[in-house]
Amino acid sequence: MQKGIFSSFSKLMMIALLAVGFNSYGQDIVKVRNQNFTSYFSKSQHIPVLVVYSLTPDMFNCVKMKGEHGITLATDPQLPDATALKDDYNNSLFDNAQMMAPEANSCDKDAYTESFYFTNVMPMPKNLYKDLWGKLHDKELVKAKKFKKIKVFAGTVGRNWVIGAYNNVIVPEWCWKVIYIPSTDEYLCYQFHNIEPYNPNDNLAGHKVDINTIESLAGVHFVNGVISASYVTPTASN
């Protein structure tokens, strides 16, 4: 009887570790700084667990690039052997969703190019990415124009599925985003269950939560627009 209990307990512990994507992190999470965003990237999961960036109108208030320069998804040169590949997303139910929208970097070609690095990409149901996640990107630009500067945190939690032709890319169970407005000390928080099928009649309001919900879900903590977690050294810039 005891053997069965311990066996079940071991299995539950293993499942829990997988579900949180080894949230003890250790050497698995690598901090990668690009021009306009910082990624905390899991080498074992091949996705970011957190992407942090600031937005000001001068970053995007110009002619949109819209990919006419032939820019496509690419390996981050800072992590040549750890990120996913385009082929890992082929023939799957999931889109290669960018945590920071390329449109937010449309005034600088280098920054725009970096937003296509896989250190800024996670698997997301196609409808969710093209609908609500896209609307959330739009909301960020509106808030940045109104308040002149905002800070954004986008994260992933858990393990829902695995895709990949060459890498075992983890499809997280949850994704979330926090928009912080420094001038009002306000947090706008959203969480999404990252699964198919997705309800096309859904709206952003149905996914709005408070900051405590995000902190509990993701195991992070926010104070004055600064995030802290086991894998983050809290600084003003992150």
Q: Is 4 a member of any domain?
A: no
Q: Is 1 a member of any domain?
A: no
Q: Is 101 a member of any domain?
A: yes
Domain count, the chain: 1
Q: Is 235 a member of any domain?
A: no
- Predicted pLDDT at 68: 53
- Predicted pLDDT at 64: 64
Q: Is 132 a member of any domain?
A: yes
Domain range for 173 = 23-228
Q: Is 203 a member of any domain?
A: yes
Residue 160 near residue 192, CB atoms below 8 Å? no
What is the CA angle 124-128-198, rounded to 5?
Answer: 105
Q: Is 3 a member of any domain?
A: no
Say which CATH number the domain at 122 has: 3.40.570.10
Name the nearest CA neighbour of 169 among 145, 143, 194, 150.
194
pLDDT digits (tens, 9 = 90+) for 100-115: 999 999 999 999 999 9
- Predicted pLDDT at 76: 96
- Predicted pLDDT at 82: 87
- Predicted pLDDT at 199: 77
Output the tens digit of pLDDT for each of the chain's 238 residues: 444 433 333 333 333 333 333 333 458 999 999 999 999 999 999 999 999 999 999 999 886 665 555 789 999 999 988 889 999 999 898 999 999 999 999 999 999 999 999 999 999 999 999 999 999 999 999 999 999 999 999 999 999 899 998 999 999 999 999 999 999 999 999 999 998 666 778 899 999 999 999 999 999 999 999 999 988 865 545 5
- Predicted pLDDT at 21: 33
- Predicted pLDDT at 206: 92
Query: CA–CA separation, 217 vs 230, rounded Å?
Result: 14
Q: Give CA torsion, residues 142, 217, 34, 160, to 10 deg.
A: -110
User: Which residues are within 8 A (CB) of 159 and not within 5 positions of it... i.e. 6 or more apart?
Assistant: 18, 19, 20, 21, 45, 170, 171, 172, 173
- Predicted pLDDT at 144: 98
pLDDT digits (tens, 9 = 90+) for 28-59: 999 999 999 999 999 999 999 999 999 999 99
- Predicted pLDDT at 8: 39
Query: CA–CA separation, 156 vs 170, rounded Å?
Result: 10
Name the nearest CA neighbour of 143 among 177, 96, 97.
177
Q: Is 40 a member of any domain?
A: yes
